[in-house]
Amino acid sequence: MLEYVSGIITFSLIYVIATVGLAVFTGFTGLFSLGHAAFFAIGAYTAGILTYFYDVNFWAALAAGVAVSSLVGVLIGYPTLRAKLRSDYFAIATLGFGEAVRVLLENLDITQGARGLPGIASETTLPIVIVFTVLVLWVARNFVHSRYGRAAIAVREDFVAAEMMGINLFQVRMRSLVFSAGCAGLAGGLFAHYVSFIQPGMFTAALSTQLTASVVAGGMGSITGPTVAAVLFVAVPEALRMASMWRLVAYGFLLVAIMVFRPQGLFGFREISWQSCVRCFRKKPAAAGGGAGQ
């Protein structure tokens, strides 16, 4: 039982890492990606192939996964962001990219096609994942509160006005995209060494959708919101496992309900912070009924 719970926590946190990366991109520059599963897959396969076929050290393989998926982020970002594709066209481009990567994985020899890679060394443990999650959250928080974060928010709010403020649109978007691709790659590497078996079918558009849905449901412009949503979207289907197929229906309803009742996402653009928790507790006796402040 303990193992089962710790397994769910590990899975949740792996998704949190990927979701936070995507939150920095989609939540702060306003561009939707429907192909982030591809970065996840690239990280998983790069790290997995390195340890499986070449006996590379786990940490080096993980780093290579991050590096390769960031690099692919640059490659896909260069043409699409340079052309200043509008939000919906960008989403379609990433959708195509996601599918292309999956088909590639199914047909390459090194990835063993649809058979996948069985028996990857099981290296990822809960403490490792916790450390990485904290690290990613910390970096994301610093990014958002830096000059680049403010520039990204300006781009999301009105990119023409942002350009007139002297912001290099392309650079801001590229930076966020590469960060999010790197996070997805890291999550992928951890994932591969946790489940120790990967196949292309794990990285379909459904995974991309889940990541993007977590960001939107958690709140565009928030880091902690998508974090909570990512945990929720892994934990809820698990908790409802006894309901078998109905759990996916519940999952769908959850998404619809969030969009209907909280279109700005669970957290809007708010964050959970120590100050807001403290304020929440202080206000309650005064019958003011706190709530998470900014």
Partner 1 sequence: MLEVSNLNVKYGQIHALRDVSLSVQPGRIVAVIGANGAGKSTLMMTLAGLLAPASGKITYDGKPLPAKAYDVLGEGICLVPERRRLYANLTVRENLLMGAFLRNDKDGVQADLEKMYTLFPILRERLKQYAGTLSGGEQQMVAIARGLMSRPKLLLLDEPSLGLAPLLVESVFRTVREIKAQGTTILLAEQNAFQALEMADDAFVLETGRVLLTGTGSDLIADPLVRKAYLGIKG
The span of 123-131, 148-156, 236-244, 271-279 binding partner 1 (CB under 8 A) equals: 148-156
CA distances from 228 to 58, 218, 225, 271 (A): 28, 7, 5, 11
SS3 269: coil
Site membership for partner 1, residue 83 (CB under 8 A): no
Query: Which is nearer to partner 1, 164 or 206 (by Cβ)?
Result: 164
Site membership for partner 1, residue 153 (CB under 8 A): yes
Number of residues interacting with partner 1: please give it, by CB under 8 A: 18
Min CB(200)–partner 1 separation in Å: 40
Site membership for partner 1, residue 263 (CB under 8 A): no
Min CB(158)–partner 1 separation in Å: 5
CA distances from 103 to 73, 204, 205 (A): 18, 10, 12
Query: Which is nearer to partner 1, 57 or 168 (by Cβ)?
Result: 168
Min CB(145)–partner 1 separation in Å: 13
| Residue from 9, 137, 141, 150 in contact with partner 1 (CB under 8 A) | 150
Sign of CA dihedral 136, 138, 144, 149: negative
Residues 141, 37 contacting (CB under 8 angstroms): no
Chain positions 160 to 199 lying near partner 1, rule: CB under 8 A, are 160-169
Site membership for partner 1, residue 157 (CB under 8 A): yes
- On the CB side of 42, CA atoms within 13 Å amount to 28
- Going along the chain, which residue ranges are E strands? 117-118, 197-198
Site membership for partner 1, residue 147 (CB under 8 A): yes
Chain positions 25 to 64 lying near partner 1, rule: CB under 8 A, are none
Give the chain's radius of gyration (CA, Å). Answer: 19
Q: Report how far residue 39's alpha carbon sits from residue 82's, in angstroms, rounded to the nearest whole number.
A: 20
Query: Which is nearer to partner 1, 57 or 87 (by Cβ)?
Result: 87
Measure the N-to-C terminal CA separation of the chain; round to a whole number of Å.
38
Q: Give me the amino acid identity at 271.
A: E
| Residue from 269, 279, 280, 290 in contact with partner 1 (CB under 8 A) | 269
The span of 3-11, 151-159, 226-234, 246-254 binding partner 1 (CB under 8 A) equals: 151-159
> Per-residue b/e over 32-71, b at no fewer than 16 CB within 10 Å?
bbbbbbbbbbbbbbbbbbbbbeeebebeebbbbbbebbbe
Min CB(156)–partner 1 separation in Å: 9
Q: Which chain residues interact with partner 1 by CB under 8 A? A: 147, 150-151, 153-154, 157-158, 160-169, 269
